[in-house]
Structure 1
Amino acid sequence: MAESKISLWQGQERSSWIRLRTLILLRWVAIIGQLTAITVAQQTYHVQLELGLCYFAVGVSVMGNLTAILLFPENKRLSEFENFLMVLFDLLQLSFLLYLTGGLNNPFALLLVGPVTISANVMSTRSTLIVGAVAIVLTSLLAQFHLPLRTNLGLVLDMPDTLLFGNWVAIIIAIVFIGAYSHRVSSEVQSMSEALSATHMALAREQKLTDLGGVVAAAAHELGTPLATIKLASSELIEELDDRPDLMEDAALIREQANRCRDILRNMGRAGKDDLHLRQAPLTTVIHEAAEPHVNRGKSVHFGERPSGDADMQQPSILRKPEIIHGLRNLIQNAVDFAQANVWVEAEWTPDQITICIMDDGRGYPPHMIGRIGDPFMRRRRSDSDKSARPEYVGMGLGLFIAKTLLERSGAELKFANGTDPYQNLNTDPDRRGAIVQVSWQRKLIDAQKGDSPVPSGANQPFQI
């Protein structure tokens, strides 16, 4: 569920998150900078400019800003196309101003990179490529076609051809590199943000399933009003049926049972919150709970547990954290999805460490993806055999990311390998040739009795019915 919701979220236009007011503010800053540069060039350095056309170019930006302020509310969010038009307008206005002031001989020609960078951060790949291509074309035209910069003595301020060519190459490289870099980083940050949101959704869902006491308490609260109504009505019936002892006895029984229902719900809510057994369980019990939704899906799931070295034979009791249960469930689901016929889930413990190893007899992870397992939204082209073996699988890598994030949140360390890899040391059984995931904790982190967060010992309060 979380994966499907987040995939829809990812498909939304990210540019719609940018307010019009933000781009208007940036344009005012650019307008002030352009007017300052024109004034300083003319008054301080006595550069002869086409002032009428220069002020016209700046005035177009001013009119654009004023029009946007008057026509749209301050909190308007730009669509993809509107954002594209805004950035393209700024690029064309800046290019026209550079045409009037020396083209690439003007040191401010470097500002052509600005609109491309904005586009790369807030717009789609297609829009960014269009803006980048337009910027490259305009830069190339400005290298050849522009009005010269002249001093008041008539001296033309031109760069040597070699420097002009170097300036053109530098701007083109900056447009390509900075645009690609900004777009890549923005996409990575956004993907991580979306995946973390999916992780929080999954954890919240598992927390709701675990917190049974809270659910019962809510049910007791919701049922309190109808039970009180039943009690009130039965009490009134008792008073009115003095001459009908048989019916009065029935009304008294209704009131008694309503009181009993109220007490049961109150005690259930209290017991659910105070039950020590809900907060801890044996290691194998937690593993079976995590695997339960996937044990009857056509694959054989084999469980095993054993102590290692000098560890006690008795298995440890661990904390029933939602992160652990949901993380292991995702890993087991992944193994069942890709196994040929068998999945092995084995637990091992020592006085200092608890380890769970999940293996299958499938084809394993693609070798080139081993180092990227756990990254969100990994995509690769699926072969026909992949589609026939698991037609419903989308393959975004989000499930493994959620599992890895939740388990690491509980203090676990994860290792991924393939059983066919001769250099891996997680498994030596040739039948277990598929994917291998090893999840390890320091025992003190999850041990419910001797760890850093032990569950209080003692008997539960009796459950009154």
Structure 2
Amino acid sequence: MPALPRGGVRLRTLVLIRWGAVAGQAFTVAVVHWGLGFGMPVLAVGGTIALSALLNLTVSIGRPGSARIDDREAAIFLAFDILQLAVLLYLTGGLINPFSLLLLAPVAIGATILSLASNVALTLLTIVSIALLGLFYQPLPWKGPPPNLPDIYQAGVWAGLSLTTMLITLYGWRLAEEQRQMADALAAAQAALAREQQLSALGALAAAAAHELGSPLSTIAVVTKEMQREIELDDPLREDVELLAAESERCRSILAQLSTDPAGDVSDSYTLVPLPALIEAAAQNYAREEIDIAFESGPAGEGVPTTAPIQLRSPEIMQGIGNIVQNAVSFARKEVRVSTRWTRDWSEVEVVDDGPGFSEALLDELGTPFISTRQGQGGHMGLGVFIAKTLLERTGANVTFGNRSGMGGGAVVSVRWSNPVFKAT
């Protein structure tokens, strides 16, 4: 599965945010200048606000609001907002202006929607703007002489804003990236489950077709046998009748196989199957000639039923166990061993390979999306283990990962269900 695209936001979202900023700026200027009577360069400040509004109108008219803009366009959009705020603060006191905190708003927005490179660029632009505003600015609007704050205080404001900018970018981007990764991984898991459900539905359709076709095919066979008895040996149609009888018998054999093979059928007769048979059915599609897959099963301890517990044949188990076995086969040197054990309290499937085992650095992270030692190689995205764990946990299983000690090492994946069900099948 190819990597899902990152970034992108609706143009209307950024346009509405900017309209809110323009309205807030205009209201603040009106209150400060006319309400409080503080003097300020109204024309320059008003022109800067009007430029932002004009750009918003141009963008809104030129493209539909539902259009999505890419990472680069969104970064340019937010960069303009940073520069516009920097010009307004330059005209109204620089970092002494209490509204200098608004410089953090575009950075916070960008952290949730932009790529890492674009966030770094916006962060640097903001820090440079803060530094310049600390050195160059017009007097703060005030009645009488503006307050004269100590240089050390202004340096503290500069340092605080710069550090906050970097922290917002770092934590905001990281949290948003994890959310995007989880959404992508869940989408991949749902796609895998949907594929398995389609296969299950196809198997059920085959079983239903076998059942429905059984009766008419039996009638055809009976009629054919009657024709064989009545037709003469030298009749030119006898060869066709014998061919018809052979082909009808062949059809009956195929339908019988579809009706009685639980590994290839998910009809109602095989909704509940013995756990070892279910595990073998899930793993059989991932066998390789050079890798031997050995199956073991049996009770664990004394006083345990010798008959295997039954398990619901579900797409989650088929896909989850299949992914684990596929992963083990891809890393194994010669053999993968699949062991099924049970007691009265639990049933467990353990998949062990003779490969290099899980990396100790990644062992604690296994089961989270986009974690793999092969990520980016051969199309691997680090989603196989996540999909398997997610699907199996939906069935009530507990999935654990570890490494085998001794005997050349190897990876061990354990899947355990509590409260197994024992009954004759």
Same fold, TM-score > 0.5, yes or no: yes
Which string of whole-angstrom CA distances, capped at 9 and with x for unpartnered residues, describes residues 414-454 of structure 1? 1111113xxxxxxxxx336211111100134xx4859xxxx
| Alpha-carbon offset, residue 397 of structure 1 | 1.9
Alignment partner, residue 75 of structure 1: 66
Match of 1:27 among 13, 18, 28: 18
Alignment partner, residue 362 of structure 2: 369
| Alpha-carbon offset, residue 380 of structure 1 | 5.4
| Alpha-carbon offset, residue 304 of structure 1 | 0.8
Matched, 1:199 2:192: no
* C-alpha distance in 2 between matches for 1:293 and 1:216: 19
| Alpha-carbon offset, residue 213 of structure 1 | 5.6
Matched-pair contact (CA < 8 Å) for 2:374–2:382: no
Cα separation, partners in 2 of 1:47 and 1:209, compared to 1, 3 Å: same
* C-alpha distance in 1 between matches for 2:268 and 2:411: 36
* C-alpha distance in 2 between matches for 1:131 and 1:28: 20
SS in 2 for 1:47: coil
Matched-pair contact (CA < 8 Å) for 2:207–2:267: no
Cα separation, partners in 2 of 1:439 and 1:293, compared to 1, 3 Å: same
Alignment partner, residue 314 of structure 2: 321
Moved more, 297-306 or 121-130: 297-306
Alignment partner, residue 138 of structure 2: 147
Match of 1:378 among 371, 392, 402: 371
Which string of whole-angstrom CA distances, capped at 9 and with x for unpartnered residues, describes residues 54-73 of structure 1? 00010001101111222111
Cα separation, partners in 2 of 1:179 and 1:438, compared to 1, 3 Å: same
Which string of whole-angstrom CA distances, capped at 9 and with x for unpartnered residues, describes residues 166-191 of structure 1? 11111111110011111001110000
Q: How does 1:120-139 map to 2 (within 5 A)?
A: 120-139=111-130
Cα separation, partners in 2 of 1:320 and 1:23, compared to 1, 3 Å: same
Q: How does 1:62-461 map to 2 (within 5 A)?
A: 62-153=53-144, 155-212=145-202, 215-216=205-206, 275-309=267-301, 310-378=303-371, 393-420=378-405, 430-431=406-407, 433-444=409-420, 447=421, 449=423
Cα separation, partners in 2 of 1:105 and 1:379, compared to 1, 3 Å: farther
* C-alpha distance in 1 between matches for 2:318 and 2:56: 54
* C-alpha distance in 2 between matches for 1:294 and 1:443: 29
Cα separation, partners in 2 of 1:449 and 1:381, compared to 1, 3 Å: closer
* C-alpha distance in 1 between matches for 2:178 and 2:289: 35
1:435 aligned partner, one-letter code: A
| Alpha-carbon offset, residue 116 of structure 1 | 1.2
SS in 1 for 2:364: helix
Cα separation, partners in 2 of 1:21 and 1:403, compared to 1, 3 Å: same
* C-alpha distance in 1 between matches for 2:19 and 2:208: 54
| Alpha-carbon offset, residue 157 of structure 1 | 2.7
Cα separation, partners in 2 of 1:277 and 1:381, compared to 1, 3 Å: closer
* C-alpha distance in 2 between matches for 1:416 and 1:431: 18
| Alpha-carbon offset, residue 152 of structure 1 | 3.3
Alignment partner, residue 258 of structure 1: none
SS in 2 for 1:372: coil
Alignment partner, residue 7 of structure 2: 14
SS in 2 for 1:140: helix
Matched-pair contact (CA < 8 Å) for 2:92–2:140: yes
| Alpha-carbon offset, residue 219 of structure 1 | 8.6
Matched-pair contact (CA < 8 Å) for 1:360–1:432: no
Cα separation, partners in 2 of 1:217 and 1:348, compared to 1, 3 Å: closer
TM-score normalised by L of structure 2: 0.83
* C-alpha distance in 2 between matches for 1:347 and 1:33: 66
| Alpha-carbon offset, residue 278 of structure 1 | 2.8
- Which ranges in structure 1 are unaligned for 5 or more consecutive residues? 221-249, 255-260, 383-390, 421-429, 451-456, 458-465
1:352 aligned partner, one-letter code: D
| Alpha-carbon offset, residue 108 of structure 1 | 1.0
Moved more, 82-91 or 44-53: 44-53
Which string of whole-angstrom CA distances, capped at 9 and with x for unpartnered residues, describes residues 53-106 of structure 1? 000010001101111222111211112222121111111111100110111001
Matched-pair contact (CA < 8 Å) for 1:351–1:443: yes
SS in 2 for 1:65: helix
SS in 1 for 2:106: helix
| Alpha-carbon offset, residue 296 of structure 1 | 2.5
Matched-pair contact (CA < 8 Å) for 2:200–2:266: no
Alignment partner, residue 462 of structure 1: none
Percent identical among aligned pairs is 36
2:415 aligned partner, one-letter code: V
TM-score normalised by L of structure 1: 0.76
- How many residue pairs get matched? 381
Matched-pair contact (CA < 8 Å) for 1:105–1:158: no
| Alpha-carbon offset, residue 37 of structure 1 | 1.5
Matched-pair contact (CA < 8 Å) for 1:379–1:397: yes
SS in 1 for 2:68: coil
Matched-pair contact (CA < 8 Å) for 1:13–1:79: no
| Alpha-carbon offset, residue 312 of structure 1 | 0.5
Which string of whole-angstrom CA distances, capped at 9 and with x for unpartnered residues, describes residues 140-167 of structure 1? 00001100114232x1234221221111
Cα separation, partners in 2 of 1:163 and 1:42, compared to 1, 3 Å: same
Moved more, 179-188 or 60-69: 60-69
Matched-pair contact (CA < 8 Å) for 1:318–1:449: no
* C-alpha distance in 1 between matches for 2:22 and 2:372: 43
- Which ranges in structure 2 are unaligned for 5 or more consecutive residues? 211-239, 245-250
